[in-house]
Amino acid sequence: MAFEVKLVIAGMLATLLTLGGYEHLFNLEPNRCEMTYMFQKPHFIPIQLLTEVAKQFPLYGLYVYGEGDLVKDLEDKKYAGVPVLFVPGNGGSHKQVRSLASVAYRKSFEDGINFHFNFFTVDLNEELAALYGAVLERQTEFVSIAIKHILGLYEGQKGKPESVILVGHSMGGMVARAVYTTKQVTAAMAPLIITQATPHTRPVLILDPYIQKFYDKVNTFWMMERDFDLKEVVLLTVGGGRNDIQVPTSHTNTPLADLATTTANIPSCWLTADHQAVVWCWQLVMATMRALFDCVDTNTQQLTTNRTHIIDVFDYHLSRKITGKRYKTSSYPHSIPLDKEGVWMEASKRQFTHTATSTPRKTYLAIPLRPGHPQYHLATIIANNLDNKNWVVACAASTTTTTTTTTQKGMQMCSVGLNLSGKTQKMLGKMKSVEVDLAALGEAGYTHVVVCIPPSDEKVGVAVDVHSQTGRQRSTHVPSFLRSFTQTLVVDTTPQKALSYNVTLNGFSESWQSLKFILRPRQSCHMQEVPMARLYTPWTQKISYIQNSGSGVSYIAEIDVPALNANSTASVQFVLNPECTYTILVQGSFVGVFRRLVLLYGYQIPAYCAVHLLLSLTRQMRGIGEQGSCPSFFTSMLSLTPLAVVPFVKVANLVLRNMEIEDDMTLLSTHGEDLPVLPIVLFLGGLPFSLLLGALTWGMILLAGKGAQSFMTRVLGHTIGATDMLADLAVTGLSRVPIIVGAALISLAYSTCGTLALCVAVIFYFLKVSKQYEEYVERLAACVIPGPSGRDAAAQRSLSRLHFHLTLLMLVGLVTTLHLPTLVIWSRLVRTNLQVTDDPSREVTIIVLLALCFLWQKKMPQPNRKYYKQVSYIIHFLALVGLLFGAVHTYRISYIVAAALALTAAHQILAPLAPEDSSPDSCDSPTQPYMENLTSEDSGHSQATTPGSDLSRDS
């Protein structure tokens, strides 16, 4: 019964993970980014580098972007603008600079600004830096040289710039941060770095040790020098949010940054952008360029040296901008004069809405404070299409002052007021809101809060909601995971004419959580605008708008950056239509949780696949030792249970923590991504995927084995110029001398690329296993024909070996798959007659090929060897190590699998022979341990032989 329950749970988890993966990859928010178009034909003008630099980096280049009238000056090497260097990311092109550069060019001329920017860009050969970390150091060195070269282009010119602004996309942001480690670039030379969708905390995938070494080097340097050599550097990070399925927001947020935000938090942007759209999204490009223009000192016409000013400018444009396109207009005067000749209206009710199709005269809406009144504690004011920046003030009606108040038609008016507009929050479209503490203002001596409406020909709307301190908020506990199918009532009915409602979510602080809020109108009402929702996370001090999800009024709330403090909790504010009342319900998003798991932990699937295969090999080795036959891959896989690894991993993690050794579980905990049940979920949820992988491999052997053999024969025949018969003999002959094949592949690994040798090894292994299957079918057919005894034993031996080699083939295939990026890099370099200098797959390849030289022997495995159980324990231990140290650092899986293959080969070669126990075999005993009677596989006759002679004949 427990077996069936395990399979049911594994199937359900696999289904949910599949649904989560589909949601993550395909069910995205609509791409509302507007494309940034070039105003004129773009030109990428190459810049000649020094001869030694060109020889050192033959595949890299430096360009300057030109457009319109600027092209001629740049071609004549006349540089007069503020230098900006764009660094592309993983597989990125230097031409991606055109979005920022074109907007900057047009803006400098259309706005009448007397300075402009020179946008430089580096061509890094579109290298896959996120998948092959060995190129990062080379890219860093080239960018450092490019920065110095750019500054040298301005030598002898008036107003020579002293610094270069760096803009890095994806891995280009990490390269931009790394230039300081070369000691060629100082903080004064590059005082501002803007990164777009850059994974700062750690790589999304750690497929080789070079990328981990690079990250450790850069992040350690920054942590040590942030308060010293790098204290003047301004680091800004922008993430894409929900639609960026490649880099989670938690990776883009780093405590080393002066400002970290996402596109969903940027005023006038309020959207999520995919990994590539972050570069060309017009809303983000405009916000970035406005900030850059505001950071230029008008006196020197270069980037300001005032670090605080740069941070304030970007904080304004990327976080708190309300109205106005320039930072210099962002300050708020302390007091605002009011026109007593204007139209004054006092609010007689706590909730009211003012709407006017046009406003011919200045209009003032006065809200009395009523100190001590329990319902006059807070006020929410929302304005739509109200363009004036200073729009909310507090004033005091006092007869002791000169002329601060007068009476006009029985209405008190103020001539001056305290400006409260600095508390304004920008909302979607042309809406803005402010929360006013009426009680505090009343204690300070003020009598009214006044909304100022300037003359306008457009329709203007102002809504006011005055309420008690707790009248518009509710606290609720986050529904448990098991209650995700049911809806929990948060608010039965929102107050009449309420403009907003705040829901504090106790326990909502983990990045894997996903909540669905549902707003149901209580009565039929006119709803021109769907209510909005804003998520506030106090540990990041950020407010982000939540988009309506699907039909109806529902929102999915998720935490992008987890809280490191367990007591922290998020809250959601709903901006409501005052014409309606709502019922607010919350429900755990079941599929949303698994979408988050795929987003945050999907990269761990290869590690769990390796654990499944290693544990299956463990069961098979134990079966050979105890029963003399190898259990099938599927039987071994289905017998696996998380109890075989999870408890040991948890205990080992505690021990390693006490020893101050950081394993991958500790690393996840450090970043607030530790989930106690994660190993169980991924172990059971990944089990069907491993079974499916085995089924696909088995299916390919059944269906494509013969075709692959014929194809390889034709390829080899074409290569050596031989007939198909000779080519077939060559293929068959090679399969009988695996040591020669292994030696040839090792030579191939050294002369080309380790992964290429692994790919050839996988193909050869696949053909060998296919041939074994054909032999098994022949012997199985022979067993039903009357003849000499021993045919059934031969068939059982053949099937047992087939099971054993199927698992080994999948392990070798897994190692090959993990190193495919190296093959891609090599294939690009080989076209230019260059070689991979740092091959992360070579060491693993050599170990695997040396092991295969012996495992490819025809008689493997040999059941007449001792210590199968002991070897199975060691392989089991390697599986535990793989989960402890390879869940995040994926490249370590290859070394662990290689160690398991080497151990298996060493056992088959060096383990002593077990005592023989001869007994007759017949076709009527299919389950008889075949180690009792080793027969000739070629003749089919029963013949007692020694293991050594049996191996020598088959070899």
Which pLDDT does position 528 carry in this prediction?
55
- Read off the DSSP letter of residue 701: H
Residue 946 above 50 pLDDT?
no
Lowest mean pLDDT among 6-20, 475-489, 848-862: 475-489
pLDDT in tens, 759-815: 999 988 888 888 888 777 777 766 656 555 555 677 777 788 888 999 999 999 999
- Helices marked H in 240-387 — which ranges? 249-252, 277-280, 282-294, 307-315
Lowest mean pLDDT among 11-25, 107-121, 175-189, 294-308: 107-121
Cα separation, 701 vs 174, in Å, equals 44
Q: How confident is the model at residue 734 (pLDDT cuts 50, 70, 90)?
A: low
Among 402, 415, 397, 399, smallest CA distance to 342 is for: 415
Residue 749 above 70 pLDDT?
yes
pLDDT in tens, 650-668: 999 999 999 989 999 999 9
Q: Residue range 662-677: average pLDDT?
A: 89
Query: Is 166 or 555 the better-scoring residue by pLDDT?
Result: 166
Which pLDDT does position 428 carry in this prediction?
77
Q: Do 417 and 393 touch, CB atoms closer than 8 A?
A: yes
Residue 195 above 70 pLDDT?
yes
Which pLDDT does position 707 carry in this prediction?
57
Residue 584 above 50 pLDDT?
yes
Q: How confident is the model at residue 398 (pLDDT cuts 50, 70, 90)?
A: low
Residue owning tokens 């004419």: 497
Q: Contacts by 646-654 with C-beta closer than 8 Å and gap 24+?
A: 646/679, 646/680, 646/683, 648/880, 649/679, 649/880, 649/883, 649/884, 650/679, 652/880, 652/884, 653/884
Q: How confident is the model at residue 425 (pLDDT cuts 50, 70, 90)?
A: confident
Which pLDDT does position 540 carry in this prediction?
83
End-to-end CA distance of the chain: 45
Which pLDDT does position 28 carry in this prediction?
85
Q: How confident is the model at residue 406 (pLDDT cuts 50, 70, 90)?
A: very low
pLDDT in tens, 313-344: 999 999 888 777 788 777 889 999 988 888 88
Lowest mean pLDDT among 250-254, 794-798, 869-873: 794-798
Residue 937 above 60 pLDDT?
no
Q: Residue range 446-465: average pLDDT?
A: 92
Which pLDDT does position 726 carry in this prediction?
47
- Read off the DSSP letter of residue 94: G
Amino acid at site 140: T
Which pLDDT does position 526 carry in this prediction?
61
- Read off the DSSP letter of residue 248: -
Q: What percent of the chain has pLDDT over 90?
A: 50
Q: Show the tokens assigned to 345.
A: 């209206």
pLDDT in tens, 499-543: 999 999 988 888 888 999 998 888 776 655 667 888 988 888 888
Q: Residue range 572-592: average pLDDT?
A: 89
Cα separation, 404 vs 416, in Å, equals 7
Which pLDDT does position 833 carry in this prediction?
65
Residue 186 above 50 pLDDT?
yes
Other CB atoms within 10 A of residue 877 CB: 14
pTM of the complete model beyond 0.85: yes
Please report how many Cα atoms fall inside a 13 Å half-sphere around the Cα of residue 253, on the Cβ side: 18
Cα separation, 215 vs 81, in Å, equals 33
Contacts of 43 (CB under 8 A, 6+ apart): 65, 66, 67, 71, 74
Which pLDDT does position 919 carry in this prediction?
43
Q: Residue range 399-428: average pLDDT?
A: 70
pLDDT in tens, 217-231: 999 999 999 999 999
Distance of CA 458 to the CA centre of its chain: 44
Residue 102 above 60 pLDDT?
yes
Q: Do 387 and 323 touch, CB atoms closer than 8 A?
A: yes
Residue 403 above 70 pLDDT?
no
| Angle in degrees, 0-180, between the axes of helices 820-830 and 754-783, rounded to the nearest 10 | 120
| Angle in degrees, 0-180, between the axes of helices 842-855 and 738-751, rounded to the nearest 10 | 170
Which pLDDT does position 702 carry in this prediction?
79
Cα separation, 298 vs 783, in Å, equals 93
Among 376, 334, 338, 234, smallest CA distance to 292 is for: 234
